[in-house]
Amino acid sequence: MASGWAAAPGLLLAVLGGVASGLHSLHYFEVAVTNPSPGVPEFVIVGYVDGNLIVRYDSESRRMVPRADWMKANLGQQHWDSQSEIGQRNQDSYRIDLDTLRHRYNQSGVHTIQRMYGCDLLENNGTKGYLQYAYDGKDFISWDMDSMTFIAADAGAVATKIKWEKDGMVAGQEKNYVDNICIPALKRFLSYGQSVLERKEPPTVRVSGKKAGEFLTLRCRVYGFYPRGISVSWLRDNEVRDQDTTWSGIVPNSDGTFYTAASIVIRPEEKDKYRCRVEHPSLAQPGLYVWDESAERGADNVLLIVGAVVAAVLLVGVAGIAFWKLQSGKQKERYTRASSTDTGIGSSGEQRSLNVSLAGGAGEGLELLAEKDCAATAPGTA
């Protein structure tokens, strides 16, 4: 199967729209490809705090670099040197993992491994940890923090699951990372970027309509808002119609704000009964919006610009990385109202070094490095 880089925008939208569920988040996303080409590096890491891009590494520069001013201002050269070393070791380890999986599945050609890991700080002061792998854009194996077990997504991952669960070491090290490295790092980064991360920017809302045969599709586009947490619903005579609504993901704009949309298919003669309701921490009360046919042409021009900005972020800002859908086949997603500090995808300030391969092995374990611990070895997945 091909690497899936060409499908990057859609897959990345799915991930950015559905990962973080906590009050604050710190996550990494990594992708390794067997056959790099111009514009497609062999290995890329991007990190997010509360949906804000803060770091990036790629195999061409072999450097971890800050992508947020407040990260650059608060972390010295020693930190970036150590994080670069971890990225280089991870890059080397993924080559081995890709070879292992191609052998396991009896394959040749272009393939990818993807990994997402990190943590959420919940409203009740609880924590949530993540570790998920995908191979060729499909789920491979993931870690369940509650049960401390690994979930194999297909038969090829069963061998990895058995080896990783053999003595409990891998799950234990993952739990240690979440509790003792990731969460403290998240709190530290939140303090670094407090003025940026705690701001509130209200959404701009546009409602459009498109007729097709006997039906009319109403689309409520919401953009320019921060923080990430938002609720967008369609009402019919003041009744919420979530069962008939299709949501897009919540995705970042280049200016650090977010964009989302919700659509509903109705009969044209009932259009006056429908309202789009938007709830966001920046708003004193929910906003209600209707379709205004006469104003739609000007609004479409604005939305074309927004769409171009989103595409630029996806294809340039994060190097067109193709991440897998965390919940495949899900067409509808409900966004519940969040607190004023609800956030999106996390960050990679405390990058993790993988020293367990997907093949597993005695004594191997996953260990994410703290910024002051730069001696760990690289990761593996096969």
How much is the pLDDT for 207? 97
CB atoms within 10 A of CB 293: 9
Say if residues 295 and 205 touch (Cβ distance below 8 Å): no
Say if residues 322 and 32 touch (Cβ distance below 8 Å): no
**Per-10-residue mean pLDDT, the chain, length 382:** 33 41 86 92 95 94 96 96 95 94 94 96 91 95 96 94 92 95 96 94 97 95 94 97 94 90 96 97 96 69 47 41 37 31 34 54 28 29 40
Say if residues 161 and 54 touch (Cβ distance below 8 Å): no
pTM value is: 0.72
How much is the pLDDT for 293? 81
3-state secondary structure of 304: helix
DSSP-based helix, strand, coil % in the chain, nearest 5? 30, 30, 35
C-alpha to C-alpha distance for 161 and 149, rounded to whole angstroms: 8
How much is the pLDDT for 360? 42
**Which tens digit of pLDDT belongs to each residue from 311-323?**
444 443 443 343 4
How much is the pLDDT for 353? 59
The encoded tokens of residue 19 equal 């990962």
For residue 97, the one-letter residue type is: D
Which domains, ranges and CATH numbers included, belong to the chain?
5-196+342-368 (3.30.500.10), 205-317 (2.60.40.10)
**Which tens digit of pLDDT belongs to each residue from 190-200?**
999 999 999 99
